[in-house]
Amino acid sequence: MQKDKILIVDDEADIALILKLQLEDAGYETERARDGVEALEAVEREPFSLIMLDIKMPRMDGLEVLSRIRSDLTPVVMMTAHGSEDIAVDAMKKGALDYISKPFSSDDMLQKVERAIGIDRTRKENARLQRQLDEERLKMAAVLQGMADLLLAVDLQGTIITASRQAESVLSCHGDIMGKPLEEVLKAEVPGGELPARAVLRTGEPCLDVAYQLQVGGQQVPVLSSAAPLKNGSGELVGSVEIIRDISKLKELEQEKEDFVSMLSHDLKSPITAVVGSIDLVREAKLGPITEDQREYLNAAIESCEEMVEMIDTLLGIHKFEAGKMKLTFRDEDPGSLVNRSVTKFQTLAQRGAINLFTTLPSGLPPVSADRSSFNRIMGNLLSNAVKFTPEGGEIEVSADLVQDPAAVTGKVPEQIYAPGQLPTAGDFVRIRVRDSGVGIPEEALGSIFDRFVQARNRRQGKTRGTGLGLAFCRKAVDAHGGYIWAESEPGAGSVFTILLPAQPEEPEE
C-alpha cells in the first residue's frame, strides 16, 4: 500500500527535522521545502497528500503560497509561532484545513495531520460522487428530453414533479404543467376512471398497458400507458411515474390489417370460387368432351384452388382468434367420433400416397367440450401435414386415451411453447396423438413451429411446400378449447403431435 506523502515547508531546519522524524515514524513519507518558492516548485513536480506550511518564511511567506496553490486539491495545515493564531485563523478562511502552533506536541500534530488527510479524502470522495451524480442526472435529462413518449412523475398527492420535454410540448395547452395535479393535465377517458399513475399511488404496484383516450388540443388520441412506483432509498413509496405512448399509428395499422383481412375474405375468395366453378364445368364435360389427361390437369387445378381457399380460411381463422371475434359453439363431444370423422376424410389421400392411415381408439373415453368445426380443422391440419411429410410405404396413427396425471406426459413440452406454470399438473385430460413415420422435425424447431409462417427446415423437403399457417391455427384453436398442443420428434424418425383436452365429468345417472 502506497504511503501518504507530506510536504514540509519550513525555513527552520531543526523544526523541519523534528517533523520529518515524527511523521516518518508514524508511517508517512516526507519531503522538505526551505521556503515558499521551493514549495511551489515541489507541488508542480508531484502531488502530495498534505502540505504542512509555515507562515513566516523568507522570499515568499506561507499566506502567499496558500493563495497560489489549489488547496481544494491538496490539503494544507498551517504552522505558526505561538501568539500568531489570528493569522492562522485567517489562513483557514482562505483554504487551510487546520493549524498548529509552535512549539507543538507530537500527539497533537499527528492527530491534526491524520484529521486533515481524512477530511481531504472525504471531500474528494464526495466530489467524485457528486460528479457521478451530475453525470447520471445529465444522462437522465438527455433520456427524458429525447423520449418520444410522454413521461410524467408525480408525488404522493398526484402533483407533477417531473415531465419529459415531449410531455411538456404535447400538454402545453394546459400551460406550465409542473406542480399541477395529474388529472388537470391528463384529460382522459380511462376504463375504471382511474389513471395508471393514480392506481400505483393507491396500490403501490405497477399498472401496465392501460389503453385509454387522451384529450390533446380538442382531439381524442388513443394511448397505451404504464405506470410504476417511485421509491426512496428506504423502499418507501414517494410517488409514481407514468409513460404514455401514442398508438394512433398502431391503430391505423390495425385498421389496415382489418381491411386486408376483409379483402382476403371477399375480394380473393370470390374470384377463386368462380374459377373453381368454371373449371368444374369443363371437367364434367358440360362444355364438350375432354380426355383423361385433360381431366387430370383440371383436377390438379381445382385442388390448387382449394388449397388457396384453405390457406385464406386459415389466415382468417388466426386473425379472428387474435381479434377475439372467432365464434365457437362448444358441445360435449365423443373424442373417438371426432377423430374417426377426421381420419375418414383423409383415407383416400393416404391411399393415393401408399400410406397406412389407421386409428387406435379405446372405448369408454370421457367426452370433451369442443367446437366441432374448429376441431375438424385442427385434425385436418395435423393429418394434412402428416400425409405431406410421410414417404410412400409409411404409416400414420391417430390415437386417443385418458390421461389422469398430465404432469407425467408434459415433460418434453418445449419451454418456448408454454411458460413455466402454464402446463397442467392435475386433472383428467383426453390425449389425442397424431404419429407419423415421416422426415421428422429438428429439436431446435420444436418450440417455434406453432408460430405463423414458420416451417422447420427439413419439413420443407417434404412432398409439398406449406405456408406455415396450419399449425399456428391449431395453437390458437386448441388454446380456445382450454387445451394444450406440442410436438415431439427426431429427424428421420417421424413426429408425434399431441393434444390435451380437458375431460368433461360424466353426468350422474338419475
Half-sphere exposure of 328 (CA within 13 A, CB side): 22
Rounded distance between C-alpha atoms, residue 141 and residue 267, angstroms? 52
Q: What is the pLDDT of residue 141?
A: 61
What is the second-level CATH architecture of the domain 330-502?
A: 2-Layer Sandwich (3.30)
Q: Residue 212: in which H helix or E strand, if any?
A: strand 207-216
Distance of CA 36 to the CA centre of its chain: 63
List the chain domain ranges.
Answer: 5-126, 147-246, 251-323, 330-502
Cα gap 378→363, rounded to integer Å = 22
Supply the pLDDT for residue 459.
47
- Which residues of the chain fall below pLDDT 70? 1, 82-83, 139-148, 174, 261-262, 264-266, 322-323, 452-468, 506-510
Coil, strand or helix at 496: strand
Q: Cα Rg for the chain, rounded, in angstroms?
A: 41
SS3 content of the chain, % helix, strand, coil (to 5): 45, 25, 30
Give CA separation, 484 vs 210, 323, 391, 404, 410, in Å.
29, 20, 28, 15, 10
User: How many CB atoms sit inside 10 A of residue 67's CB?
Assistant: 11
Q: What pLDDT sits at residue 336? A: 92
Name the one residue in this structure whose C-alpha cell is 486539491. Answer: 73
What pLDDT was estimated at residue 501? 93
Tell me if 5-126 shares its fold with 330-502. Answer: no
Q: Among 336, 484, 487, which Cα is nearest to 406's? A: 484
343: left (phi over 0), alpha (psi -120 to 50) or beta: alpha
| pLDDT per position as a tens digit, 214-223 | 888 778 888 8
pTM of the model: 0.51
Helix 470-480 / helix 372-388 crossing angle, nearest 10 deg: 150
Quote the cell numbers at residue 92: 483557514
Cβ pair 75, 97 in contact under 8 A:
yes
3-class DSSP state of 455: coil
Residue 448 has which C-alpha cell? Answer: 417455434
Q: In degrees, to the nearest 5, what angle opens at C-alpha 266 toward C-alphas 260 and 268?
A: 80
**CATH among 3.40.309.10, 1.25.10.10, 3.40.1390.30, 3.30.450.20 for 147-246:** 3.30.450.20
Question: Contact, 9 vs 57, CB < 8 A?
Answer: yes
Amino acid at 465: R
pLDDT at 136: 74
Give me the pLDDT at residue 460, please.
45
Assigned C-alpha cell, 341: 370423422
pLDDT digit string, tens, across residues 19-70: 999 999 989 999 999 988 998 999 888 989 899 988 888 888 888 888 888 7
User: What DSSP element (H or E) covers 68?
Assistant: helix 62-68
d(CA 53, CA 149): 58
The CATH number assigned to the domain with range 5-126 reads: 3.40.50.2300
